[in-house]
Amino acid sequence: MTAYFSELENKTVIVTGGSKGIGKDIALTFAKLKANVVISGRDATVLKASLKELQEYNPKCLAVSGDLSDIGEVQKLIDKAASEFGTVDVLVNNAGINIAKPAMEVTEADWDAVLDLNLKTAFFASQAAARYMLEQNSGRIINIASQMAFVGYVKRAAYCSSKGGLVQLTKALAVEWAKQGIRVNAVAPTFVETELTVNMFKDETFKQEIDSRILLDGLSQPADISGAVLYLASNLANFVTGETIKVDGGWTAI
């Protein structure tokens, strides 16, 4: 019997925003399975440190620095992965930001920054990756959306809009590329406890509110998200496309 996930060995896996937080955990999960992981990030120092961790599991892993809000940098990332490894098998669109402001204080620059990285970049990364996947007649694209695609929340007007759009983009690309062997899905996390959110949860009032909305005990961990991504990238999800898996501890069930 073939071991679960063994088919991911030597696959080319691109994780945008893969140098820290959820993206880093996703990248490490694939590297431990001996996938050839390519991560992107804007902070060269952080990117280099994360790459070193990945290469402990697979020395062939790569890092490509750049600001993915620049679509030219997106193309460079995808092309680098393809030229190095010959294929583009899995793309995880994880790069994203939130600018938390009341709706009446959101500027045009705020709106554009959030929508550009969270939605536009995901589309053009998918388009660039699909050029290779269509030739292969195979590929997986996994978008990191959010529970905020399904529910509203304060100070999240742009963020909710971008993630709602990402869920619809997932469906549209899944429909368009299904016959060419490309499966497009998404994962929608709740608030996740990472080094990037630790200060947020120091606000006890905020933490108590989050705890009151999540049905399961405790906060979501990066591994919870990585597990869903791994499933969608694997042969276990061969008959799944256009789907968004909510990893929200039951938040949206109420």
Question: Tens digit of pLDDT for each residue in 40-53?
Answer: 999 999 999 999 99
pLDDT band at 200 (very low <50, low <70, confident <90, very high): confident
Taking the C-alpha atoms of residue 136 and residue 11, their distance in angstroms, rounded to an integer, is: 13
What's the pLDDT score for residue 43? 95
CA distance readout (Å), 174 to 55, 239, 240: 32, 12, 10
Percent of the chain with pLDDT over 70: 100
Q: Alpha helix locations (H) across the chain? A: 21-32, 44-55, 71-85, 108-115, 121-136, 157-177, 204-213, 222-233
pLDDT given at position 50 = 98
> Percent of the chain having pLDDT more than 90?
94
Q: What is the pLDDT of residue 86?
A: 97
In this predicted structure, what is the pLDDT of residue 246?
A: 98
Domains present along the chain, CATH in parentheses: 9-248 (3.40.50.720)
Helix (H) or strand (E) holding 15: strand 12-15
Identify which of 91, 94, 121 has the alpha carbon closest to the alpha carbon of residue 21: 94
In this prediction the pTM is 0.97
Residue with tokens 């402990």: 56
Residues β-bridged to residue 196: none
Render pLDDT for 112-137 as a digit per residue (tens, 0 to 9).
Answer: 999 999 999 999 999 999 999 999 99
Give the range among 60-69, 169-178, 204-213 with minimum mean pLDDT: 204-213
Cβ–Cβ under 8 Å, residues 32 and 38: no
What's the confidence (pLDDT) of residue 123?
Answer: 98
**Average pLDDT of span 63-78:** 97
The enclosing H or E element of 250 equals none
For residue 242, pLDDT beyond 70 = yes
Average pLDDT estimate for 74-98: 98
Q: Which residues are catalytic?
A: 159
* Residues with Cβ within 8 Å of residue 168, at least 6 apart in sequence: none
